[in-house]
Amino acid sequence: MRSIATSHGIFYNGDCILGASLIPDNSVDLIITDPPYGIEGDRLHRHYNRDESFVTDGYVEIPSEQYESFTMDWVRQAERIIRPGGSVYIVSGYTHLRHILNALHKTSLEEINHIIWRYNFGVFTSKKYVSSHYHILFYSKPGGNRTFNTECRFSLSEKDENGGSLNYQDREDVWIINREYKPGKVKNKNELPTALLSKIIQYSSNEGDLVCDLFLGGFSTAKTAIGLLRRATGFEISQVMFDARAYEMTTLVPGFLLNSAQTPKEPARKRTRKIWNQEETEELRRKYNELNQTGLSQKEITERLQEEFDRGYWSIEKALKKNSIKPRRHKGESGI
């Protein structure tokens, strides 16, 4: 199979089902993939205002009647190459979603989240609602530690202007991320936005990890992975698509996206899970009583204690409960 090797990964020009044997069992940390949609007379790429002359030719579609067996075959390969604890993200429209869900159901992979990605530039329609979402199926292989970097983009204490948790909002399972509008630039017809790929890669992998895309298309997954100092590999069956983008992989400077990626403004909490000692418990008791006199709500008190003791919400709650630290009923009266 034709391939191109770079310092941060090998990319193959061929069928990912036949070629997957080139990738050893349990060797990949993260799979992000966006299979062909199997739609006859494909209109999915016809977004508002796009000049089709800039869309790369050569995209290989799967006939609708073969979609089910094709899906089972590549999903089995994904299951084989992902390491125990590794994560698999599959982007899918709704037309053949059931085949992907059925195939996943037949593997050992476990569902973690079913994410909805809502984008701009929906598919043009005149007599029905405009379609402007994809499904992102997030699965993991059991038997190992799953990487999920909870505070890789927003720390637990970062708030928006209304006091809402930015970390919570970023981890909700509906994502609103715009497609990239690249007027005048050559692109694959369903290129995934860097913002979406960065988010997945930041949460579900660490620097140096191997990220695989079985359907490279415009190589956007590989490019983003390298930009965030991960290694990358994958397959693209179309020679035209492969030749249009593979060379660029040899010219990328690893880590080129690190400065522009979303990162926490405040340091992540230390998740030491240390046991509370006598001294800390006394201090917690003292501080709690002090805050309780100020008229703050219980939620606000817990938040202040989180910051002061550099512990998570549950650690504070548990310590308060375990040490029977209860709110004072009246100002000035002992609350313990």
The tokens describing 301, both together, are: 């008190």
Site string for ligand SAM, 60-89 (x = CB under 6 A): x-----------------------------
Asked if 42 is part of the footprint of ligand SAM (rule: CB under 6 A), the reply reads no
Asked if 217 is part of the footprint of ligand SAM (rule: CB under 6 A), the reply reads yes
Q: Which of 241, 244, 319, 320 binds ligand SAM (CB under 6 A)?
A: 241
Q: How far is the CB of 57 from ligand SAM (least distance, A)?
A: 10
Cβ contact 331:302 at 8 Å: no
Asked if 188 is part of the footprint of ligand SAM (rule: CB under 6 A), the reply reads yes
Please work out the total of residues on this chain that contact ligand SAM, with binding judged by CB under 6 A.
Answer: 21
The tokens describing 327, both together, are: 């709110």
Amino acid at 319: A
Asked if 238 is part of the footprint of ligand SAM (rule: CB under 6 A), the reply reads yes
Spatial distance between the Cα atoms of 9 and 148, rounded to a whole number of angstroms: 23
Nearer to ligand SAM, 211 or 301 (CB): 211
- For 188, counting Cβ atoms within 10 Å of its Cβ (0-12 exposed, 13-18 middle, 19+ buried), the class is buried
Q: Which of 3, 4, 10, 15 binds ligand SAM (CB under 6 A)?
A: 15
Instruction: For residue 12, give Cα distances in angstroms to 86, 160, 267.
Output: 22, 44, 39
Q: How far is the CB of 136 from ligand SAM (least distance, A)?
A: 12
**In the complex, residue closest to ligand SAM by CB:** 217
β-pair type (131-140, 110-123):
antiparallel
* E-assigned strand segments in 177-286: 210-213, 231-235
> Which residues contribute to the site for ligand SAM (CB under 6 A)?
15-17, 34, 36, 59-60, 188, 190-192, 215, 217-218, 220-221, 235-238, 241
